[in-house]
Structure 1
Amino acid sequence: MRLCVFCGSNAGRQPAYVETASALGQALAQAHIGVVYGGASVGLMGAVANAALAADGEVIGVIPHALWEKEVGHKGLKDLRVVDSMHQRKALMAELADGFIAMPGGAGTLEELFEVWTWAQLGHHQKPCALLNINGYYDHLIEFLDHVAGEAFMQPQHRDMLIVADTIDDLLAAIANYQAPQVSKWIAPVKG
Protein backbone atom coordinates (compact mmCIF):
# COMPACT_ATOMS: atom_id res chain seq x y z
CA MET A 1 0.00 0.00 0.00
CA ARG A 2 1.11 3.54 -0.73
CA LEU A 3 -0.32 6.87 0.37
CA CYS A 4 0.26 10.11 -1.48
CA VAL A 5 1.08 13.01 0.81
CA PHE A 6 0.32 16.52 -0.45
CA CYS A 7 2.03 19.23 1.61
CA GLY A 8 4.02 22.42 1.48
CA SER A 9 7.53 22.88 0.15
CA ASN A 10 7.82 25.41 2.99
CA ALA A 11 7.96 24.55 6.68
CA GLY A 12 5.30 27.01 7.84
CA ARG A 13 5.36 29.11 11.02
CA GLN A 14 4.60 26.49 13.65
CA PRO A 15 7.20 23.84 14.57
CA ALA A 16 4.32 21.36 14.90
CA TYR A 17 3.98 21.26 11.11
CA VAL A 18 7.49 19.89 10.53
CA GLU A 19 7.32 17.71 13.63
CA THR A 20 4.08 16.12 12.44
CA ALA A 21 5.37 15.73 8.88
CA SER A 22 8.35 13.81 10.25
CA ALA A 23 6.11 11.76 12.52
CA LEU A 24 3.84 10.91 9.58
CA GLY A 25 6.75 9.79 7.41
CA GLN A 26 8.02 7.58 10.22
CA ALA A 27 4.56 6.18 11.00
CA LEU A 28 3.92 5.29 7.37
CA ALA A 29 7.28 3.53 7.06
CA GLN A 30 6.73 1.62 10.30
CA ALA A 31 3.30 0.51 9.04
CA HIS A 32 4.91 -0.66 5.76
CA ILE A 33 2.97 1.98 3.82
CA GLY A 34 4.92 3.57 1.00
CA VAL A 35 5.03 7.34 0.55
CA VAL A 36 4.31 9.03 -2.76
CA TYR A 37 4.95 12.77 -2.72
CA GLY A 38 6.08 15.78 -4.73
CA GLY A 39 9.80 14.95 -4.75
CA ALA A 40 11.23 17.97 -2.90
CA SER A 41 13.90 17.89 -0.20
CA VAL A 42 12.67 21.03 1.58
CA GLY A 43 9.74 22.06 3.76
CA LEU A 44 7.11 19.59 4.88
CA MET A 45 7.74 17.53 1.77
CA GLY A 46 11.35 16.98 2.74
CA ALA A 47 10.42 16.22 6.36
CA VAL A 48 7.97 13.48 5.35
CA ALA A 49 10.44 11.91 2.91
CA ASN A 50 13.46 12.11 5.19
CA ALA A 51 11.63 10.53 8.12
CA ALA A 52 10.25 7.72 5.97
CA LEU A 53 13.69 7.07 4.50
CA ALA A 54 15.29 7.08 7.97
CA ALA A 55 12.79 4.38 8.98
CA ASP A 56 13.63 2.29 5.87
CA GLY A 57 10.33 3.12 4.18
CA GLU A 58 9.53 3.20 0.50
CA VAL A 59 9.48 6.77 -0.85
CA ILE A 60 8.61 7.71 -4.42
CA GLY A 61 9.08 11.34 -5.43
CA VAL A 62 7.48 12.86 -8.51
CA ILE A 63 8.65 16.28 -9.62
CA PRO A 64 8.41 18.27 -12.87
CA HIS A 65 11.60 19.49 -14.56
CA ALA A 66 10.49 23.09 -13.99
CA LEU A 67 10.34 22.59 -10.21
CA TRP A 68 13.53 20.55 -9.84
CA GLU A 69 15.55 23.62 -8.86
CA LYS A 70 12.77 25.70 -7.27
CA GLU A 71 11.58 22.96 -4.91
CA VAL A 72 15.09 21.55 -4.51
CA GLY A 73 14.50 18.02 -5.79
CA HIS A 74 15.41 15.29 -3.30
CA LYS A 75 18.70 13.70 -4.36
CA GLY A 76 18.55 11.00 -1.67
CA LEU A 77 15.61 9.09 -3.14
CA LYS A 78 16.07 5.71 -4.78
CA ASP A 79 12.92 6.38 -6.82
CA LEU A 80 12.60 9.96 -8.06
CA ARG A 81 10.55 10.41 -11.20
CA VAL A 82 11.12 13.63 -13.11
CA VAL A 83 8.21 14.45 -15.42
CA ASP A 84 7.46 17.16 -17.95
CA SER A 85 4.47 18.90 -16.38
CA MET A 86 2.33 19.38 -13.28
CA HIS A 87 -0.43 17.42 -15.02
CA GLN A 88 1.90 14.44 -15.43
CA ARG A 89 3.06 14.81 -11.83
CA LYS A 90 -0.48 14.68 -10.44
CA ALA A 91 -1.56 11.84 -12.72
CA LEU A 92 1.46 9.71 -11.82
CA MET A 93 1.10 10.37 -8.08
CA ALA A 94 -2.58 9.40 -8.28
CA GLU A 95 -1.75 6.25 -10.22
CA LEU A 96 0.93 5.17 -7.73
CA ALA A 97 -1.13 5.84 -4.59
CA ASP A 98 -3.90 3.93 -2.82
CA GLY A 99 -5.07 7.04 -0.97
CA PHE A 100 -4.30 10.70 -0.39
CA ILE A 101 -3.40 12.83 2.62
CA ALA A 102 -3.19 16.63 2.62
CA MET A 103 -1.06 18.22 5.31
CA PRO A 104 -0.64 21.99 5.66
CA GLY A 105 0.37 23.67 2.43
CA GLY A 106 -0.58 26.39 0.02
CA ALA A 107 -2.53 26.64 -3.22
CA GLY A 108 -0.72 23.67 -4.80
CA THR A 109 -1.56 21.39 -1.89
CA LEU A 110 -5.20 22.45 -1.96
CA GLU A 111 -5.41 22.07 -5.72
CA GLU A 112 -3.97 18.55 -5.57
CA LEU A 113 -6.37 17.50 -2.83
CA PHE A 114 -9.41 19.02 -4.50
CA GLU A 115 -8.59 17.33 -7.79
CA VAL A 116 -8.33 13.81 -6.36
CA TRP A 117 -11.38 14.41 -4.16
CA THR A 118 -13.35 15.55 -7.21
CA TRP A 119 -12.23 12.44 -9.08
CA ALA A 120 -13.58 10.35 -6.19
CA GLN A 121 -16.90 12.22 -6.27
CA LEU A 122 -17.16 11.52 -9.99
CA GLY A 123 -16.45 7.83 -9.45
CA HIS A 124 -13.06 7.82 -11.20
CA HIS A 125 -11.49 6.11 -8.18
CA GLN A 126 -12.52 4.83 -4.76
CA LYS A 127 -9.40 5.85 -2.85
CA PRO A 128 -9.65 7.70 0.47
CA CYS A 129 -8.92 11.45 0.53
CA ALA A 130 -7.97 12.96 3.87
CA LEU A 131 -6.92 16.13 5.67
CA LEU A 132 -4.42 15.95 8.52
CA ASN A 133 -5.62 18.98 10.46
CA ILE A 134 -2.49 19.89 12.43
CA ASN A 135 -3.18 22.50 15.14
CA GLY A 136 -6.45 23.45 13.46
CA TYR A 137 -4.74 24.46 10.20
CA TYR A 138 -7.76 23.39 8.14
CA ASP A 139 -10.52 24.47 10.56
CA HIS A 140 -11.70 27.36 8.35
CA LEU A 141 -11.62 25.19 5.23
CA ILE A 142 -13.66 22.49 6.96
CA GLU A 143 -16.17 25.12 8.07
CA PHE A 144 -16.37 26.42 4.51
CA LEU A 145 -16.89 22.92 3.07
CA ASP A 146 -19.73 22.37 5.53
CA HIS A 147 -21.16 25.70 4.31
CA VAL A 148 -20.86 24.56 0.68
CA ALA A 149 -22.80 21.39 1.48
CA GLY A 150 -25.32 23.36 3.56
CA GLU A 151 -25.93 25.71 0.63
CA ALA A 152 -26.64 22.69 -1.63
CA PHE A 153 -23.58 23.06 -3.86
CA MET A 154 -22.25 19.67 -2.73
CA GLN A 155 -24.00 16.41 -1.96
CA PRO A 156 -23.71 15.55 1.77
CA GLN A 157 -22.27 12.13 0.89
CA HIS A 158 -19.56 13.86 -1.14
CA ARG A 159 -18.70 16.13 1.78
CA ASP A 160 -18.54 13.04 3.99
CA MET A 161 -16.05 11.39 1.63
CA LEU A 162 -13.31 13.72 2.87
CA ILE A 163 -11.69 12.25 5.97
CA VAL A 164 -10.62 14.82 8.57
CA ALA A 165 -8.36 13.88 11.46
CA ASP A 166 -6.31 15.85 13.99
CA THR A 167 -3.80 13.08 14.77
CA ILE A 168 -1.79 10.61 12.72
CA ASP A 169 -3.26 7.62 14.56
CA ASP A 170 -6.83 8.78 13.91
CA LEU A 171 -5.98 9.55 10.28
CA LEU A 172 -4.45 6.14 9.57
CA ALA A 173 -7.30 4.35 11.35
CA ALA A 174 -9.89 6.26 9.30
CA ILE A 175 -8.04 5.49 6.06
CA ALA A 176 -7.76 1.80 6.99
CA ASN A 177 -11.51 1.66 7.68
CA TYR A 178 -12.55 3.75 4.68
CA GLN A 179 -15.51 2.44 2.73
CA ALA A 180 -15.97 4.24 -0.55
CA PRO A 181 -19.60 5.25 -1.11
CA GLN A 182 -21.41 4.14 -4.22
CA VAL A 183 -21.08 7.02 -6.65
CA SER A 184 -22.56 7.02 -10.11
CA LYS A 185 -20.41 8.11 -13.03
CA TRP A 186 -22.92 10.92 -13.59
CA ILE A 187 -23.55 13.18 -10.64
CA ALA A 188 -27.04 14.62 -10.29
CA PRO A 189 -27.39 18.26 -9.20
CA VAL A 190 -27.81 18.90 -5.49
CA LYS A 191 -31.45 19.41 -4.60
CA GLY A 192 -31.86 22.51 -2.44
Structure 2
Amino acid sequence: MPLILFNKPFQTMCQFSPQEGRETLADYLDIPDIYPAGRLDADSEGLLLLTDDGKLQHRISHPRRKQPKTYLVQVEGIPDEQQLQRLRQPLQLNDFLTQPCQAKQVQTPDWLWPREPPVRIRLEIPTSWLALTISEGKNRQVRRMTAAVGLPTLRLIRTAIGPFSLQTHPLWPGQWQTVDPGAMDGSV
Protein backbone atom coordinates (compact mmCIF):
# COMPACT_ATOMS: atom_id res chain seq x y z
CA MET A 1 0.00 0.00 0.00
CA PRO A 2 1.23 3.54 -0.64
CA LEU A 3 2.03 5.89 2.16
CA ILE A 4 -0.85 8.13 3.27
CA LEU A 5 -0.34 11.82 4.04
CA PHE A 6 -3.06 13.19 6.31
CA ASN A 7 -3.60 16.70 7.64
CA LYS A 8 -4.79 16.04 11.20
CA PRO A 9 -7.29 18.64 12.39
CA PHE A 10 -7.02 20.38 15.76
CA GLN A 11 -8.54 18.34 18.63
CA THR A 12 -8.59 15.08 16.65
CA MET A 13 -7.18 12.14 18.58
CA CYS A 14 -4.29 10.35 16.86
CA GLN A 15 -5.93 6.93 17.13
CA PHE A 16 -8.59 4.87 15.35
CA SER A 17 -10.36 3.49 18.41
CA PRO A 18 -13.43 5.48 19.49
CA GLN A 19 -12.97 8.20 22.08
CA GLU A 20 -16.24 9.45 23.56
CA GLY A 21 -16.93 13.03 22.56
CA ARG A 22 -13.74 13.33 20.45
CA GLU A 23 -12.99 12.93 16.77
CA THR A 24 -10.42 10.27 15.89
CA LEU A 25 -8.59 9.27 12.71
CA ALA A 26 -11.52 6.91 11.97
CA ASP A 27 -13.73 9.95 11.38
CA TYR A 28 -11.56 10.83 8.36
CA LEU A 29 -9.87 7.65 7.11
CA ASP A 30 -11.88 4.54 6.23
CA ILE A 31 -8.92 2.42 5.16
CA PRO A 32 -8.43 -0.94 6.89
CA ASP A 33 -5.28 -1.90 8.77
CA ILE A 34 -3.37 1.40 8.57
CA TYR A 35 -1.53 2.91 11.49
CA PRO A 36 0.14 6.26 12.15
CA ALA A 37 3.92 6.40 11.90
CA GLY A 38 4.38 8.75 14.84
CA ARG A 39 1.83 10.81 16.72
CA LEU A 40 0.50 14.32 17.21
CA ASP A 41 -1.28 15.28 20.40
CA ALA A 42 -4.90 16.47 20.18
CA ASP A 43 -3.84 20.13 20.52
CA SER A 44 -1.51 19.89 17.52
CA GLU A 45 -2.45 19.99 13.85
CA GLY A 46 -0.84 19.03 10.62
CA LEU A 47 1.00 16.32 8.76
CA LEU A 48 0.68 12.73 9.86
CA LEU A 49 1.96 9.72 7.89
CA LEU A 50 0.04 6.43 7.94
CA THR A 51 0.79 3.03 6.44
CA ASP A 52 -0.11 -0.64 6.67
CA ASP A 53 3.57 -1.58 6.27
CA GLY A 54 5.12 -2.25 9.69
CA LYS A 55 8.70 -1.97 8.39
CA LEU A 56 7.98 1.40 6.77
CA GLN A 57 6.21 2.60 9.91
CA HIS A 58 9.29 1.68 11.94
CA ARG A 59 11.67 3.40 9.47
CA ILE A 60 9.66 6.62 9.68
CA SER A 61 8.99 6.79 13.40
CA HIS A 62 11.93 5.14 15.16
CA PRO A 63 13.99 7.72 17.12
CA ARG A 64 17.31 6.34 15.84
CA ARG A 65 16.30 7.25 12.28
CA LYS A 66 16.33 10.97 13.18
CA GLN A 67 13.64 11.77 10.60
CA PRO A 68 13.48 15.59 10.41
CA LYS A 69 10.13 17.08 11.32
CA THR A 70 9.28 20.73 10.72
CA TYR A 71 6.75 22.59 12.81
CA LEU A 72 5.14 25.97 12.32
CA VAL A 73 4.66 27.43 15.79
CA GLN A 74 2.63 30.48 16.75
CA VAL A 75 4.08 31.79 20.01
CA GLU A 76 3.17 34.46 22.47
CA GLY A 77 5.75 37.24 22.18
CA ILE A 78 8.38 38.27 19.67
CA PRO A 79 11.60 36.20 19.83
CA ASP A 80 14.97 37.89 20.14
CA GLU A 81 18.17 36.37 18.77
CA GLN A 82 19.12 34.96 22.19
CA GLN A 83 15.84 33.02 22.44
CA LEU A 84 16.25 31.67 18.90
CA GLN A 85 19.84 30.65 19.67
CA ARG A 86 18.74 28.84 22.83
CA LEU A 87 16.17 26.91 20.76
CA ARG A 88 18.87 25.93 18.22
CA GLN A 89 21.29 24.61 20.86
CA PRO A 90 20.70 21.56 23.03
CA LEU A 91 18.13 22.68 25.57
CA GLN A 92 17.78 21.05 28.98
CA LEU A 93 14.15 20.25 29.67
CA ASN A 94 13.20 18.58 32.93
CA ASP A 95 13.67 14.99 31.79
CA PHE A 96 15.97 15.22 28.75
CA LEU A 97 18.40 17.31 26.75
CA THR A 98 17.16 18.16 23.26
CA GLN A 99 19.26 17.66 20.15
CA PRO A 100 20.36 20.77 18.22
CA CYS A 101 17.65 21.96 15.83
CA GLN A 102 16.86 24.64 13.30
CA ALA A 103 14.81 27.60 14.55
CA LYS A 104 13.91 30.84 12.84
CA GLN A 105 11.21 33.47 12.94
CA VAL A 106 8.93 33.45 9.87
CA GLN A 107 6.04 35.45 8.50
CA THR A 108 2.52 34.07 8.81
CA PRO A 109 2.26 31.67 5.86
CA ASP A 110 -0.27 32.76 3.24
CA TRP A 111 -1.33 29.11 2.72
CA LEU A 112 -2.31 28.57 6.36
CA TRP A 113 -5.90 27.59 7.11
CA PRO A 114 -7.88 29.18 9.96
CA ARG A 115 -8.11 27.12 13.13
CA GLU A 116 -11.47 26.19 14.64
CA PRO A 117 -11.86 27.35 17.32
CA PRO A 118 -9.49 30.28 16.74
CA VAL A 119 -6.47 30.85 18.96
CA ARG A 120 -7.26 33.20 21.83
CA ILE A 121 -5.31 36.38 21.20
CA ARG A 122 -4.59 38.96 23.88
CA LEU A 123 -4.37 42.40 22.31
CA GLU A 124 -1.67 43.62 24.69
CA ILE A 125 0.67 40.70 23.91
CA PRO A 126 1.98 40.31 20.35
CA THR A 127 2.33 36.92 18.69
CA SER A 128 4.80 35.66 16.11
CA TRP A 129 5.53 32.53 14.10
CA LEU A 130 8.56 30.27 14.27
CA ALA A 131 9.69 27.41 12.04
CA LEU A 132 11.39 24.65 14.04
CA THR A 133 12.93 21.53 12.53
CA ILE A 134 13.79 18.79 15.00
CA SER A 135 15.09 15.26 14.49
CA GLU A 136 13.49 13.76 17.57
CA GLY A 137 9.95 13.86 18.87
CA LYS A 138 9.53 13.47 22.58
CA ASN A 139 6.15 14.10 24.23
CA ARG A 140 5.09 17.75 23.72
CA GLN A 141 8.73 18.59 22.93
CA VAL A 142 8.19 21.70 20.78
CA ARG A 143 5.73 23.19 23.29
CA ARG A 144 8.17 22.52 26.12
CA MET A 145 11.08 24.03 24.17
CA THR A 146 9.29 27.29 23.35
CA ALA A 147 8.02 27.60 26.93
CA ALA A 148 11.57 27.06 28.26
CA VAL A 149 12.79 30.14 26.35
CA GLY A 150 9.83 32.31 27.38
CA LEU A 151 7.71 31.94 24.22
CA PRO A 152 4.60 29.90 25.08
CA THR A 153 3.08 28.01 22.15
CA LEU A 154 -0.38 29.12 21.04
CA ARG A 155 -0.68 26.98 17.90
CA LEU A 156 1.43 24.07 16.66
CA ILE A 157 1.30 22.68 13.12
CA ARG A 158 3.58 19.94 11.81
CA THR A 159 4.26 20.93 8.22
CA ALA A 160 6.84 18.36 7.11
CA ILE A 161 8.20 14.89 7.85
CA GLY A 162 11.30 13.95 5.91
CA PRO A 163 10.68 14.63 2.21
CA PHE A 164 6.92 15.19 2.59
CA SER A 165 5.49 18.63 3.26
CA LEU A 166 2.09 20.33 3.36
CA GLN A 167 3.58 22.99 1.08
CA THR A 168 4.36 20.48 -1.68
CA HIS A 169 1.30 18.30 -0.91
CA PRO A 170 -1.39 20.88 -0.03
CA LEU A 171 -4.08 19.33 2.14
CA TRP A 172 -6.73 21.07 4.21
CA PRO A 173 -7.46 19.71 7.68
CA GLY A 174 -9.15 16.31 7.35
CA GLN A 175 -7.89 15.71 3.80
CA TRP A 176 -5.51 12.93 2.81
CA GLN A 177 -3.70 11.58 -0.23
CA THR A 178 -1.54 8.62 -1.08
CA VAL A 179 2.08 8.97 -2.17
CA ASP A 180 4.83 6.63 -3.26
CA PRO A 181 6.75 5.59 -0.13
CA GLY A 182 9.92 5.35 -2.23
CA ALA A 183 10.66 9.00 -1.45
CA MET A 184 11.39 7.92 2.13
CA ASP A 185 14.29 5.73 0.98
CA GLY A 186 16.65 8.65 0.50
CA SER A 187 15.88 10.18 3.87
CA VAL A 188 15.71 7.19 6.21
Q: TM > 0.5 between the two?
A: no
- What TM-score does the superposition give when structure 2 sets the normalisation length? 0.30
Question: Hey, which of these two has a bigger chunk of strand by percent?
Answer: 2
TM-score scaled to structure 1, two decimals? 0.29
Determine which structure has greater relative contact order: mean sequence separation of CA pairs < 8 Å that are 6+ residues apart, divided by chain length. 2
